[in-house]
DNA sequence: GCGACTCTAACGCCGCGTCAATGTAA
DNA sequence: TTTACATTGACGCGGCGTTAGAGTCG
């Protein structure tokens, strides 16, 4: 986790580490844990706002049940987005494979042409 | 293709449509073709710079063969990147599926608790 | 007083979306 | 004149990388 990322999370209100007298940040265990969650959520494709929503959900006086339907909804939207992205990437993969194969073919053909032309 | 995109391509030197007397842009057939290529390359995950490289390759006095190895190299790197991204997304997909399933479970459990507690 | 660390503040990236202000065509 | 186009210019997004200038610790 880069320094800049931590700064960013804090700037966005996702994180609020305690400050020492000098102004230096002190990351407690809870912060570390939270950072892990943040990274996880980011890796799932969530945005800052969605993550803050999740957090405000999770830490609102223990009763996080009313948030569950919302979480499920957001999660499903994200899932749909991920699947769309997967589709796109898979298509790009096969396309690119074809292109590369074609280029290789052109290279070989050019090599042959050179050989025969050099005779 | 949005107007802004065309402006952007032009701004980046990917495109240079002829101007009419009034200053209006005129997109010829070659431009249209080029736009298609640009979109294709973008969809394959290439950056502006890589696309310009490809173009300077393709239009450098007909002999584009010396560019092929380069193109293949770039292509393979992109392919590797795409595959990494696919991996990440696939993981995110299953993770998210698990999370959602768990949330659903919690919801059901909560509903049952309420029923029983109400008795 | 030096080097290794920290801090804040700010700009840059990329592929555009989205205004605002102005000019031109029909 | 209105109205529907076109133009340039600028800011905004998101998740940071990176630099600059100043402070702080050992």
Q: What are A73-97's pLDDT values in tens digits?
A: 888 989 998 998 899 889 999 999 9
Distance CA A6, CA A11 (A): 8
- Which of A72, A94, A105, A113 to probe the B interface (max B CBs under 10 A)? A72
Chain B contact present for A107, CB below 8 A: yes
pLDDT at A63 over 60: no
Residue bearing the bigger pLDDT, A117 or A32:
A32
Among A44, A72, A103, beta carbon nearest to B68: A103
CA A102 / C1′ C19 distance in Å: 44
Burial class (CB in 10 A: 0-12, 13-18, 19+), B20: exposed
Which bases in strand C are touched by protein, i.e. have an atom under 7 Å from a CB? 6-8, 10, 14-18, 24-25
Distance (Å) from the C-alpha of residue A12 to the closest C-alpha of chain B? 23
What is residue A65's predicted lDDT score, i.e. its pLDDT? 60
Q: Percent of chain A having pLDDT more than 90?
A: 54
Strand C atom within 7 Å of B43 CB:
no
Mean pLDDT for chain A overall? 88
Chain A contact present for B96, CB below 8 A: yes
Distance (Å) from the C-alpha of residue A104 to the closest C-alpha of chain B? 7
CA B25 / C1′ C23 distance in Å: 14
What is residue A62's predicted lDDT score, i.e. its pLDDT? 57
Q: Do B93 and A85 touch (CB under 8 A)?
A: no
Is the whole-model pTM more than 0.85? no
Distance (Å) from the C-alpha of residue A22 to the closest C-alpha of chain B? 40
pLDDT band per the 50, 70, 90 thresholds, residue A59 = low
> Do residues B99 and A75 lie in contact, with contact meaning Cβ atoms separated by under 8 Å?
yes
What is residue B56's predicted lDDT score, i.e. its pLDDT? 83
Q: What integer is the mean pLDDT of A43-56?
A: 89
What is the residue-level pLDDT of chain B in tens, covering all 119 positions? 999 999 999 999 999 999 999 999 999 999 999 999 999 999 888 999 999 988 887 665 555 556 788 888 888 989 998 998 898 889 989 999 998 999 899 889 988 988 887 55
pLDDT at A69 over 80: yes
DSSP string across chain A: --HHHHHHHHHTTS--PEE-TTS-EE--HHHHHHHHHHHHHHHTT--HHHHHHHHHHHTSTT--GGGHHHHHHHHHHHHHHHHHHHHHHHHHHHHHHHHHHHHHHHHHHHHHHHHHHH-
Q: Which of A13-22, A68-77, A91-100 has the lowest mean pLDDT?
A: A68-77
């Amino acid at each position: 986790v880069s320094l800049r990322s931590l700064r960013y999370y804090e700037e966005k209100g996702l994180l609020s580490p305690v400050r020492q007298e000098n102004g230096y940040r002190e990351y407690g265990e809870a912060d570390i844990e939270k950072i892990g969650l943040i990274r996880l959520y980011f890796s799932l494709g969530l945005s800052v706002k969605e993550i803050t929503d999740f957090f405000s959900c999770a830490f609102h006086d223990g009763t996080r049940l009313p948030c569950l339907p919302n979480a499920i909804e957001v999660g499903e939207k994200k899932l749909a987005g991920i699947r769309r992205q997967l589709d796109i990437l898979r298509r790009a993969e096969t396309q690119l494979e074809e292109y590369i194969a074609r280029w290789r073919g052109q290279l070989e053909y050019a090599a042959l042409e050179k050989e025969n032309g050099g005779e």
